[in-house]
Structure 1
Amino acid sequence: MTDQSATMSVVKDYILEEFLPGEDPGQLTPSTPLVSTGILDSLAMLKLVAFLEREFDIPIKAHEADEEHLNTLQAICELVDSKRSLVR
């Protein structure tokens, strides 16, 4: 499993457990809109950012905790990967 697919799996599991309990995991794809469809509201975005910082040991700046960076699993993984490359 590549870093990005491992990241995707961890983030997807968290979102399903925390924000979509009981939903079909197959419905949450890398391009499923999370913020623009209301799956993640502002409080959920803060919880997600706290999880990402803790889980991946990365800092996320306030301006990165927005719809552009958190709207899809793909965008979230790209953000995490970009932060990891800075920390390494």
Structure 2
Amino acid sequence: MNEIQESIHQFILSEFLPGEDPSELTESTPLITGGILDSISTLKLVNFLEERFNVTIEAHEAGVDNLDSVGQIVRLIEEKKSAA
């Protein structure tokens, strides 16, 4: 796991899946469509991502297309950081 992925993985486990087996949260686990994230927790995740990685996530980016799995989130952050 790279640093970005590890950070996101740990945040999701501690904030939204406390006590769950870390190996159950994979790169492709559905977060929004799987019911792990609702609208409030998605906002909390976006706030964490913006603060932790010093990026801005636009409203149109904060949905199932970019935030439904750890893998999608990592790609979004990597794209944002490389464009900066």
Length, aligned pairs only: 84
Matching of residue 47 in structure 1 with residue 44 in structure 2: yes
Distance 1:48 1:35 in 2: 11
After superposition, what is the alpha-carbon deviation per residue over 1:41-84, rounded to whole angstroms, capped at 9, x for unaligned? 01111000000000000011000000110000000000000000
Percent of aligned positions with the same letter in both sequences? 48
TM-score normalised by length of structure 2 = 0.97
Which structure 2 residue ranges, 5 or more long, are not aligned?
Answer: none
After superposition, what is the alpha-carbon deviation per residue over 1:11-60, rounded to whole angstroms, capped at 9, x for unaligned? 00000000000000000000000000100001111000000000000011
The Cα RMSD (Å) is: 0.9
Letter in 2 for 1:85: S
Distance 2:34 2:70 in 1: 13
After superposing on structure 2, the runs of 4+ consecutive aligned residues of structure 1 that deviate more than 4 Å are none
Which structure 1 residue ranges, 5 or more long, are not aligned?
Answer: none
Counterpart of 1:38?
Answer: 35
